[in-house]
Amino acid sequence: MKPGYLRQLRSNKNKKGFIETTLAKVANFRKGENLEKGFVTMKEMEKLHIFNRAYAFSKWLFNHTGKFPKSHRFSVAVKLENTILELIELITTANMRRNKMDFLARADEKLLYLKILSRLSCELEFINVKSYEYAAKELVEIGRMLGSWIKQQQTS
DSSP letters, 65-113, are HTTS-HHHIIIIIHHHHHHHHHHHHHHHHHHH-S--HHHHHHHHHHHHH
Task: Give φ, ψ of 48 to 5 degrees.
Answer: -85, 105
In one-letter notation, the amino acid at residue 35 is L
Q: With a cut of 60, say whether residue 32 has pLDDT above it.
A: no
Question: Which domains does the chain carry?
Answer: 48-155 (1.20.1440.60)
Q: With contact defined as beta carbons under 8 Å apart, do 96 and 76 qualify?
A: no
Q: Whole-angstrom Cα distance, residue 147 to residue 86?
A: 17
Please give the model's pTM, rounded to 2 decimal places.
Answer: 0.72
78-128: per-residue pLDDT in tens?
Answer: 999 999 999 999 999 999 898 999 999 999 999 999 999 999 999 999 999
The tens digit of pLDDT for each residue in 126-135 reads 999 999 999 9
Q: Which residue type sits at 51?
A: F
